[in-house]
Amino acid sequence: MNPIQTKLPKVGTTIFTVMSQLATEHKAVNLGQGFPDFDTPAPLVDALARAAREGRNQYSPMSGLPALRQAIAAKTKKIYGRDVDADAEITVTSGGSEAIFDAVLAVVHPGEEVIVLDPCYDSYEPAIELAGARAVHVPLDAHDFHVDWQRVRDTITPRTRMLMINSPHNPSGAMLSAQDMATLADILRRTDIVLLSDEVYEHIVYDGARHESVLRHPELAERAFVISSFGKTYHCTGWKVGYAIAPRALSAEFRKVHQYNTFCTFTPAQAALAEMLEQHPEHHEQLGAFYQPKRDHFRALLERTKLKPLPVPGGYFQLVDYSAVSDLPDVEFARWLTVEHGVTGIPLAPFYETPPAGQRLIRFCFAKNEATLEAAIARLEKVC
């Protein structure tokens, strides 16, 4: 047999896996891959155990348990003011990543283009390439990660099928404003471009800011897949439950892919999340207030080091500038910091087609217990 010709020549193992493995190998404090090291809420864990015990262990409907879709619809109406049809416009998926993959595969054709804003999450481009399409990268501002909408406008061609946005943004935490959404609506008007809005950090916002969900903006929502993830909201990233909200016609195409990709998502977790959403709405309402002291504490601790924290409007990642410590490129710096100093972060280069020359930033996840953050700082303080 001839050697397999790779379909993804640019892809190796994802940086999150690489850095987590390296952290384990070197017993480093792992602030790399984004996951909380504190407990999932007890009522949710209890509900999961109960669902499994009560025998809710078989396939759910392909689009998700009705109770969960209804709870998502009620929440969407309450917080974003949008009426969403739980039967036709919501699909539960095995995490946000599956939803991104399904959406791209469902509507993007070979030879088309998808605009992504760099730095962007590393799963976007492989999904686009597997669809036979091409990712066209538009850089965000290198300092505050705002979108240069004129550049986006100039990048659109007759082949552009989709634009992908992400707010709060991974890795920077930057958030799109109401003005951004108005500009975006103006750009997409009179085009056939589908919008994919990755909003998995939607509830983790700070300082009284408002998350500008695409679901608040009817004109955008009419052409969008809006993707979220329970893993981020309920501290259960390993459960892999997310969802996509999209108008009926887009959801119908989305489900054609979803049904043959995973068919349905782990039923006990869906049952537990439905119960949690109904009985503990305060959980997601208070998530920003829960994370804000962690963010502020971590930033205060960083003052003891030579690392310079950038602002964090949303999400649970802290970018730090390490140029006062090292001139190594970020991938090498992240490896060095893990191996020599026992602290793991994520370099930004894998989020870019072309990383900005001389950028010296790495990402730390502060969704951690105080003791974890303090252990990391105790090590970082010693880095010359």
**Farthest-apart Cα atoms in the chain, separation:** 60
C-beta of 318: minimal distance to ligand GLN in Å? 12
Nearer Cβ to ligand GLN (160/233): 233
C-beta of 34: minimal distance to ligand GLN in Å? 3
Nearer Cβ to ligand GLN (197/251): 197
For residues 133 to 172, the per-residue mask of contacts with ligand GLN, x marking binding by CB under 6 A and - elsewhere, is -------------------------------------x--
The footprint of ligand GLN on this chain (CB under 6 A) covers a number of residues equal to: 5
* C-alpha distances in Å from residue 285, one per residue of 109, 290, 383: 38, 10, 38
C-beta of 183: minimal distance to ligand GLN in Å? 27
Nearer Cβ to ligand GLN (124/254): 124
C-beta of 237: minimal distance to ligand GLN in Å? 7
DSSP 137-176: EEEPPTTT----HHHHHHH--TTEEEEEEESSPTTT----
Buried-exposed string 318-334: b where 16+ CB fall within 10 A, e elsewhere: bbbebeebbeeebbebb
C-beta of 81: minimal distance to ligand GLN in Å? 28
Nearer Cβ to ligand GLN (93/251): 93
Nearer Cβ to ligand GLN (170/265): 170
Residues from 357 through 376 that contact ligand GLN (CB under 6 A): none
DSSP 12-27: -S-HHHHHHHHHHHTT
For residues 59 to 98, the per-residue mask of contacts with ligand GLN, x marking binding by CB under 6 A and - elsewhere, is ----------------------------------------
- Dist. CA 152–CA 163, nearest whole Å: 9
- Dist. CA 59–CA 310, nearest whole Å: 45
CA quadruple 364, 367, 371, 374: dihedral sign = positive
Phi, psi of 139 (to 5 degrees): -75, 145
Nearer Cβ to ligand GLN (14/70): 14
Residues from 200 through 219 that contact ligand GLN (CB under 6 A): none
> Among residues 294, 290, 296, which one has the least CA distance to residue 309?
296
C-beta of 123: minimal distance to ligand GLN in Å? 7
C-beta of 231: minimal distance to ligand GLN in Å? 8
- Dist. CA 128–CA 114, nearest whole Å: 7
For residues 25 to 54, the per-residue mask of contacts with ligand GLN, x marking binding by CB under 6 A and - elsewhere, is --------xx--------------------
Nearer Cβ to ligand GLN (94/213): 94
For residues 170 to 189, the per-residue mask of contacts with ligand GLN, x marking binding by CB under 6 A and - elsewhere, is x-------------------
352 interacts with ligand GLN by CB under 6 A = no
Q: What is the 3-state secondary structure (H, E, C) of 272-341?
A: HHHHHHHHCCHHHHCHHHHHHHHHHHHHHHHCCCCCEECCCCECCEEEEECCCCCCCCHHHHHHHHHHHH
CB of 146 within 8 A of CB of 181?
no
Among 16, 149, 290, 336, which residue interacts with ligand GLN (rule: CB under 6 A)?
A: 16
Token pair listed for 187: 């750009």
Task: Sort strands 194-198 and 224-229 into parallel, antiparallel or unpaired.
Answer: parallel
**Footprint on this chain of ligand GLN (rule: CB under 6 A):** 14, 16, 33-34, 170
